[in-house]
Structure 1
Amino acid sequence: MKKNKRLWMRTIILAILLSAVIYTLYGNLVGKDSKQVVQVNDKAPDFILPKLNGEELKLSEFRGKAVLLNFWGSWCAPCKKEMPVIQDAYDQYKDQNVEVITINVNESELTVKNFFEKNNLSLPVVMDKDSEVYDAYGIYVLPTSFFLHPDGTVNRVYKGEITRENMSKWMNEILPEQ
């Protein structure tokens, strides 16, 4: 009787462990494939993220303006190369009802401040320290940029380094009508 009880307990424990392993594998493998990806014509998911100065930025507060969202990391070579292009776009379009928001993914404030100082950047940056917004937008690579119409819908999603000529063309596609 005692032997049967031990065998029964081991079977239950093994079944529980096996269920946990299957659940974890499903969540990490199959669940990632079904991850929602923000696409052209979708409404951009709203978010609130902290700026470097501690204030919060809420995307929906920019409805009525065209918006460029750029997800980046200081360790990412293409991100580094496109930052001067994004800075120039910010300088050129900031007085034309356009907002440029750079979203740093998973880095410390000190790293981002040092990167901005070293590269003479003054464009807006927010911190996605836990990659929550990165995940909400279904991003897999950096840099990734979203060009948003003034109504908050996505006009274009671009993965990779943006050239000056593409930046100009794509920013003009989302400019609000005057």
Structure 2
Amino acid sequence: MRTRLLRAILMTAFLIGLGSTASAQVKAPPTDPRMKLQGLDGKIYDLADLRGSVVLVSFGATWCAPCSTELRALQELLTEFRDKPVKFFWVSVERPEEITNAGLKRYARERKVTFPVLRDTGKMVFLQFADRVRLPMIVLLNKDGRVDAPVQLGMSTPPENYKADLRVRLNKLLARTTEPGR
């Protein structure tokens, strides 16, 4: 009886594992992404046009529990990188009928987010990088405005490890020089 139960548990875990890798389909990132989005502050941000800075874009949603944890981790990284040319943005993929701008502002304020919060209500920017919604999703742009692969889907490690991995990637991008003519 125990052996049968153990087999059933292992088979279920295996099948769940197969399903989770299937949902993590990332597209080959575009060389020069179109990333023009409106912020909750009313400004239009062209993220791919922030040449000279490394840009971290996190796509998320208020209903995504890992997104809330990730926002705290990103806010801590922002503090670490405040004197360096790194820009942080959080992009909600929710439609206005799912959450209003006021609700989104409240969500960001409750999580003490100090970097710009943008909206991608039609997921037009998001879908340049992934075939399906799996959140949070991080896209890093180098100083030339080009995507630094890989696009990172999900938050499968503890916050400290997550921050450490992003810290390494950000520092590598900061150390690179820009391409001439870009």
Q: What is the TM-score when the length of structure 2 is the normalising length?
A: 0.70
* Alpha-carbon separation, structure 1, partners of 2:175 and 2:55: 10
1:157 paired residue among 143, 151, 156:
151
Contact 2:33 2:146 in 1 (8 A): no
Consecutive unaligned residues in structure 2, runs of 5 or more: 1-24, 178-182
The Cα of 1:36 is off from its aligned counterpart by 8.7
The Cα of 1:108 is off from its aligned counterpart by 2.7
Which secondary structure does the structure 2 equivalent of 1:70 belong to? strand
Consecutive unaligned residues in structure 1, runs of 5 or more: 1-34
Bigger Rg, which one:
1
The Cα of 1:70 is off from its aligned counterpart by 0.7
Matched pairs, number: 142
Q: Tell me which residue corresponds to 1:121.
A: 113
Trace 1:16-165 onto structure 2 (pairs within 5 A). Answer: 37-39=27-29, 42-106=30-94, 107-140=99-132, 141-155=134-148, 156-161=150-155, 163-165=162-164
Task: Give 4+ residue runs of structure 1 displaced > 6 Å after superposition.
Answer: none
Q: Which of the two has greater helix per residue?
A: 1
Q: What is the TM-score when the length of structure 1 is the normalising length?
A: 0.71
Contact 2:26 2:131 in 1 (8 A): no
RMSD across aligned C-alpha pairs, in angstroms? 2.2
**1:33-76 deviation line (CA, Å, top 9, x unaligned):** xx99243xx42412211111111111233012111111011110
Taking only the aligned residue pairs, the percentage that are identical comes to 25
